[in-house]
Chains A and B, each alone.
Chain A
């Protein structure tokens, strides 16, 4: 039996994060930790410690898919972990992220109005105004929260679907953050290999 660490329970944080978004959308900002921390660890540490140990989402998929047997545990289709799909999805994901930032910028500049909705799968608008009744922040702060929560919820739903259909952590095979941090690590280790390191 492997020794458990405090970070083995971060799947609980993942549940709390999505639950908080139902009460006050501004909590969506906390999701930036999942965006910034993996990049910091990859750029400065040259590792994927976040994916390997700190990712609450992948832990949640393991708990649901493996422990609670919600996964069919079938092999993930090979194209899902192919380079063209992984990097294609990364580009698509970053484009959608940039679009979300642009929407926030429009609201910030007064050219656009706050849209109190969560967009699922980048197309289905779900009214979410009940999570933003008290307005303590500027409209652009709320706009970013709605947009960011949409991104987080959409990717979590995709992850849950592939978890049920294939292996618990099938999402990891094309997770944009995972692809991006692996690219950074490979760039940092270019020309190196475990065999050279051991010498």
Chain B
């Protein structure tokens, strides 16, 4: 069953440091060719670890149902 939340990275603000990639327990976040982080929404379990670790604050958690921010 998919989680209620999933992570979404803002490509324009991402600094592609890879902190999220290293933190993700499900390998759902990858830095795409050194440019920005991309989240595989299907794999994401919505734990929020990537959001906590992101130094640029470019990851936010969203609700799956309606796409609204979970905050």
Q: Which of A2, A46, A49, A182 contacts B15 (CB 8 A)?
A: A182
Q: Does A179 make an interface contact (CB < 8 A)?
A: yes
Cβ–Cβ < 8 Å partners of B25 in chain A: 2
> In this assembly, does A53 line the interface, its C-beta being within 8 Å of a C-beta of chain B?
yes
A32–B15 Cα gap in the complex (Å)? 22
In angstroms, Cα B38 to Cα A192, docked, is: 14
Chain A residues contacting B52 (CB-CB under 8 Å) are: 73
A76 close to B (CB within 8 Å): yes
> Are A185 and B53 within 8 A (Cβ)?
no
A53 touches B18 (CB 8 A): yes
Q: Is the CB of B16 within 8 A of A81?
A: no
Quick check: is A189 within 8 A (CB to CB) of the other chain?
yes
What's the Cα separation between A42 and B31 when bound, in Å? 13
- Contact A178:B57 (CB < 8 A) given known A42-B34, A47-B34, A185-B33: no
Range for the number of chain B residues in contact with chain A: 20 to 34
- Determine whether the beta carbon of B38 is less than 8 Å from that of A173: no
- Chain B residues closer than 8 Å to A49, beta-carbon distance: 34
Chain A residue numbers with a CB within 8 Å of B22 are 2, 52-53, 62
Determine whether A170 belongs to the interface, using a CB cutoff of 8 Å to chain B: yes
Q: Is the interface of A mostly helix, strand, loop or mixed?
A: helix
Does B17 lie within 8 Å of A172, measured CB to CB?
yes
List 22 interface pairs A-B (beta carbons < 8 Å), by A numbering: A46-B33, A46-B34, A48-B18, A48-B31, A51-B16, A53-B18, A53-B22, A58-B19, A73-B52, A81-B15, A81-B57, A167-B54, A170-B55, A172-B15, A172-B17, A173-B17, A178-B16, A186-B35, A188-B33, A188-B34, A189-B34, A193-B32
Across the A-B interface, give the 7 residue pairs with the lowest CB-CB distance, nearest first. A52-B18, A185-B34, A172-B17, A48-B34, A81-B56, A173-B55, A169-B55
Residues of A within 8 A of B (CB): 2, 42, 46-49, 51-53, 58, 62, 66, 73, 75-76, 78, 81, 86, 166-175, 178-179, 181-182, 184-186, 188-189, 192-194, 197
Q: Chain B interface (Cβ within 8 Å of chain A)?
A: 13, 15-19, 21-22, 25, 31-35, 38, 52-58
